[in-house]
Amino acid sequence: MYIALLCVLLQLWLGANFGHASSQAVSATACTLKATGRDDAPQFLHAVQTCSTVVIPEATTLNIATRLNMTGLVNKHINLAGTIRFSPDIPYWTGNGFFFPFQTQITFWVLGGNNITLTGGGTLDGAGQAWYDAFATNSTLLRPITLTIFQGTGVTVEGIKMINGPEWHNLINESKDVIYQNIHISATSTSSHGPANTDGWNIYRSDNVVIRDSVIINGDDCVAFKPNATNVVVSNLNCTGSHGISVGSLGQFPGMFDIVENVTATNIRMSNAQNGARIKAWAGPNVGSGIVKNITFDGFIESKVDHPVIIDQCYMTNAAACVEFPSNTFIQDVWFNNISGTSTGSVVAALSCSPDGRCSNINVNNLKLSPPSGTAKFTCQNVVIGGNSATLFPACTVT
């Protein structure tokens, strides 16, 4: 009833002829979806269960009005040439979106399992305008993440546009071997209420993630490495209007140990942004702990960025409290290489750490950053610096 007749017939034929063991025969060929004029979530869910390839053709817009639980899939290809639009029914989603307790998040769509590809040149439309406007009068409004890869292994998302997510566009949670490439993200508002917290990607408890060859216009982090993001390579990104490529924030929650290790961000263009290359960790009483290790930012070209290079290991903590309660999230083996362009203020690089050797082997090489006027300032607190740019940072300790 929900999917194209051809697909149903093919399944019946396959089921009858080859005696599939499972009750739901999986069609070997593509099932093509058409818009029903109602909520298209049920037919989309059914097609993903029963067909190995699901096609949403170019002229088709699916209206998704109820949540998409697509966990535990095996060998699936979603070929999205058309559009998937998430209906901006705020009361429905705030009550029924999948809830993830970390930072109090909900999501429209969880996609997970083994060997899954989402491709096709089409669009995920978060219909964010209603959310941006509602958030302006309700700062505790739960806003959905557009797409969450949850417990996925071998997931590829390629050649997809994501527009106007209500909040984060992508969360990768508890996943492994994930590739995103050729993604265009754009969150813009037509009212005075900006697209708040519209991060490009957040990576959490996930290993071996690649994000490359993508363009992002948004209103928060371009890519954020959250607790237990390991072995991540981010390359060839154009980020505009964002809050930067950010490690953290980490060490926020008491009793939790956060690891971010083996991260490379290379060949990044960052324009009109709050931050360029950033690491942030909490200090103060009642926080968590962790380790940030082997992080490389290489080849950033920045234009009009407030803080082009920044480590803040006293995040959300005043200077006195940071001395009394230094961060328990240690930062070591960090490289900021080949970073050029312009800042909006006089401080072009700020390395600010908790005392007692909690930031070690921080390397800054080939920085060519200019402020709008006057002399560029490089600030430093409690940092043990490696590399050959020690002359730029007279306040740093040199190893």
Ligand X SMILES: *[C@@H]1O[C@H](CO)[C@@H](O)[C@H](O)[C@H]1NC(C)=O
Catalytic site residues? 243
Is 369 in contact with 347 (CB distance < 8 Å)? no
> Of 211, 246, 209, 249, whose CA–CA distance to 231 is shortest?
209
Please tell me whether residue 188 binds ligand X under the rule CB under 6 A.
Answer: no
Considering only the stretches 10-18, 21-29, 259-267, 315-323, report the one whose residues sit in contact with ligand X under the rule CB under 6 A.
Answer: 259-267
Surface-to-core class of residue 263, CB atoms within 10 Å of its CB (0-12 exposed, 13-18 middle, 19+ buried): buried
Least Å distance, CB 345 to ligand X, is 20
Least Å distance, CB 373 to ligand X, is 22
Q: CA neighbours within 13 Å on the CB side: how many for 359?
A: 31
Least Å distance, CB 287 to ligand X, is 13
Least Å distance, CB 93 to ligand X, is 9
> Of 170, 150, 171, 144, whose CA–CA distance to 86 is shortest?
144
Terminal Cα-to-Cα distance of the chain (whole angstroms): 70
Q: How many CB atoms lie within 10 A of CB 277?
A: 29
Site residues (CB under 6 A) for ligand X, limited to 227-256: 227-228, 230-231, 233, 238, 256
Please tell me whether residue 186 binds ligand X under the rule CB under 6 A.
Answer: no
Where do the H-state alpha helices sit in the chain?
5-18, 41-50, 90-96, 129-137, 319-324
Please tell me whether residue 208 binds ligand X under the rule CB under 6 A.
Answer: no
What is the chain's length?
Answer: 399
Give the residue, chosen from 27, 50, 54, 76, that forms a contact with ligand X under the rule CB under 6 A.
Answer: 76
Give the residue, chosen from 50, 60, 173, 313, that forms a contact with ligand X under the rule CB under 6 A.
Answer: 173
Please tell me whether residue 91 binds ligand X under the rule CB under 6 A.
Answer: no
Please tell me whether residue 269 binds ligand X under the rule CB under 6 A.
Answer: yes
Nearer Cβ to ligand X (61/264): 264
Give the residue, chosen from 13, 72, 318, 319, that forms a contact with ligand X under the rule CB under 6 A.
Answer: 72
Least Å distance, CB 70 to ligand X, is 8
Surface-to-core class of residue 74, CB atoms within 10 Å of its CB (0-12 exposed, 13-18 middle, 19+ buried): exposed
Site residues (CB under 6 A) for ligand X, limited to 14-33: none
Q: Which residues contact 267 (CB under 8 A, 6 or more apart)?
A: 235, 236, 237, 298, 299
At residue 89, the 3 state secondary structure works out as coil
Site residues (CB under 6 A) for ligand X, limited to 93-112: 94, 98, 100-102, 105
Give CA separation, 251 vs 197, 284, 328, 359, in Å: 20, 10, 7, 14
Contact string (CB under 6 A) for ligand X, positions 138-157, x = contact: x-xxx---------------
Task: With CB under 6 A as the rule, give the number of residues binding ligand X.
Answer: 49
At residue 284, the 3 state secondary structure works out as coil
Please tell me whether residue 66 binds ligand X under the rule CB under 6 A.
Answer: no
The contact set with ligand X (CB under 6 A) reads 52, 69, 71-72, 75-77, 94, 98, 100-102, 105, 115, 117, 138, 140-142, 171, 173-174, 204-205, 215, 227-228, 230-231, 233, 238, 256-259, 261-264, 266-267, 269, 271, 294, 298-299, 337-338, 366
